[in-house]
Amino acid sequence: MTLYFDYNATAPLRDAAWNSMVELLRQPGNPSSVHRTGRQARRLIEQARETLAGHLGVDPAGVIFTSGGTEANNLALTGFSGDRVIASAVEHPSVLRGPVERHIPVDDQGVVNLAALAGMLGEDLRPCLVSVMLANNETGVRQPIADIAALCRDYSALLHSDGVQALGKGAIDMKALGIDLLSLSAHKIGGPQGVGALVLRDPDLKLAPLLVGGGQERRHRAGTENVAAIVGFAAAIEDLGDVEAEAYRLAALRDHLEQACLAALPDLVFLGGRAPRLPNTSCLAVPGLPAQTLLMALDLADIAVSAGSACSSGKLAPSGVLLAMGQDNFANAALRISLGWATMASEIDLFIERFCAIVHRLQAEHRAA
C-alpha cells in the first residue's frame, strides 16, 4: 500500500472534479464564439468564476483564470504598474525570481519581521507591491497577513499573497485579511493540474497582461480558456465542504504523527513547529541523515513525501526557505510531509511504523559505518 503524503506538491483528483470535466473534454465550444455551443462554454466559465469569488468573498469580475499558481504570481508581480516590489525571503521561486527589489527577513520559525517590513516601506515612498504568502509550501508556516496588510495600508502599498497552499485548509476572506491580489491553484485541493487564478479584491485594479492577443479574462490574459479545467476547479471548490472542520481533522492527524514519531525518535526536529502552521504540513529533519537518503528509503517503502518544494526537490541544492530561516544545519536534511482530503487515520499509523523503522535502520547503519 502506497502512502501518499505529498499533497503540497499535488493532491489526488476529487471525484467531483473528474465528473464535472469528463464530458466537457469532448465538447468543442470556444467560450469566445457567439453561437450556442460557445455561449454554453462561456456560461460554464462564468459560473465557475462566481463559485470561486463566493468562496473568497469578492466580486466575480476580479477572478482571472490562469494556468496555475506560478502564472498567477508572475502576473501579479510583472503586471504591477508601480516602481518597486518587496517580497518575503521565504516565497515560492515564482515570486523570488520575479522583479523583487528587496527581501523581507524572517525569524528562525519563518515568520516575517514586521519591523523590517515597516522600515522598507518607510524608507522609499515609491508605489510598492508587497508579496507575502499566506502559508509556506515547505514548512506550512502561516504569515500574519492581517498585520502585514495593515502596514501596507499605512504606506499606501498593495498586498499580494500566494495563497496556493492555504486554499481549502481554512477560510480565506480577502476583504477581512486586507489582501489586494491572491494567487491560487486548483491541483493543490484536488482539482485538475494546469489551472489556477489571480484574484483581485478590486476588479478595476490595472495590471499589464503577461499574454497578449485576444480579449479573454477582461484583457488580463489572452488565449482560449481551458473550459473543462476551470469547471473542474470550481467543482473542487464546491467539494471542499466545511473547511474549518477539515482543518481540524488534518491538524489532529498531523499532531498524532508528529507526537508519535518524536516519542520514538527523540532527536527529531520540526522546522517552523513553534509558529502557526497549516494543519496538514510537517517539515522535519533527522540530525545526521540527509534528506535524499531518507527520501529514497521511504520511496522504497512505498511512502511518497518531498524534500523541500516540489519545484526544486529534484535538485540537491539546500532549501532556500530553511537558509532564510537561519536553519543552515537542516537545509539539506528536511523532509516535507503533507496530508490532504483523502488521508485516513490508518495511513498515519502505517507511516509512523514504517518511518520510525527506516530511521532506526539508517541510524544503525550510520553508526556502524
Do both 227 and 266 map to the same domain?
no
Q: How far is it, in rounded angstroms, from Cα 35 to Cα 52? A: 26
Do both 159 and 94 map to the same domain?
yes
CB 260 within 8 A of CB 282: no
Return the C-alpha cell found at 126.
515609491
Q: How far is it, in rounded angstroms, from Cα 126 to Cα 161? A: 20
Report the SS3 class of residue 274: coil
Give the Cα-Cα-Cα angle 259, 264, 267 (nearest 5 degrees): 85
Return the C-alpha cell found at 155.
504606506
pLDDT at position 197, please? 98
CB 210 within 8 A of CB 221: yes
Q: How many domains does the chain have?
A: 2
Q: How far is it, in rounded angstroms, from Cα 3 to Cα 39? A: 43
Do both 194 and 277 map to the same domain?
no
Q: How far is it, in rounded angstroms, from Cα 290 to Cα 334? A: 8
Residue 270's domain is classified under what CATH number? 3.90.1150.10
Tell me which long-range contacts 216-225 makes (C-beta under 8 A, separation of at least 24). Answer: 216/31, 216/32, 217/64, 217/65, 218/61, 218/64, 220/64, 220/75, 220/79, 221/64, 221/65, 221/66, 221/75, 224/30, 224/31, 224/32, 225/31, 225/45, 225/65
Do both 229 and 274 map to the same domain?
no
One-letter amino acid identity for 335? L
Q: How far is it, in rounded angstroms, from Cα 181 to Cα 174? A: 8
Full domain range(s) for residue 313: 3-10+242-368
Residue 122's domain is classified under what CATH number? 3.40.640.10
Do both 225 and 343 map to the same domain?
no
pLDDT at position 262, please? 98
Do both 339 and 202 map to the same domain?
no
Do both 228 and 268 map to the same domain?
no
- Which H or E run contains 50? helix 36-56
Do both 146 and 209 map to the same domain?
yes
Last residue of a domain, one of 238, 271, 289: 238
Do both 85 and 172 map to the same domain?
yes
One-letter amino acid identity for 145? I
- Beta pairing, strands 63-66 & 303-304: unpaired
Distances, alpha carbon 114 to alpha carbons 117, 134, 275, in Å: 5, 15, 15
CB 158 within 8 A of CB 174: no
Q: How far is it, in rounded angstroms, from Cα 231 to Cα 220? A: 19
Q: What is the pLDDT along the chain (369 residues), one digit of tens a residue?
A: 899 999 999 999 999 999 999 989 998 889 999 999 999 999 999 999 999 999 999 999 999 999 999 999 999 999 998 889 999 999 999 999 999 999 999 999 999 999 999 999 999 989 999 999 999 999 999 999 999 999 999 999 999 999 999 999 999 999 999 999 999 999 999 999 999 999 999 999 999 999 999 999 999 999 999 999 999 999 999 999 999 999 999 999 999 999 999 999 999 999 999 999 999 999 999 999 999 999 999 999 999 999 865 555 455 578 999 999 999 999 999 999 999 999 999 999 999 999 999 999 999 888 887
| Active-site amino acid positions | 311
Task: Give the residue among 215, 185, 209, 204 at the shortest CA–CA distance from 80.
Answer: 209
Last residue of a domain, one of 208, 238, 268: 238
**Burial environment of residue 287 by CB neighbours within 10 A (0 to 12, 13 to 18, 19 or more):** exposed
Q: How far is it, in rounded angstroms, from Cα 52 to Cα 59? A: 10
Do both 188 and 255 map to the same domain?
no
Last residue of a domain, one of 193, 208, 238: 238
pLDDT at position 311, please? 56
Do both 108 and 209 map to the same domain?
yes
pTM: 0.96
Do both 151 and 246 map to the same domain?
no
Report the SS3 class of residue 211: coil
CB 188 within 8 A of CB 195: no
Q: Return the number of other C-beta atoms located less than 10 Å from residue 330's C-beta.
A: 20
One-letter amino acid identity for 332? N
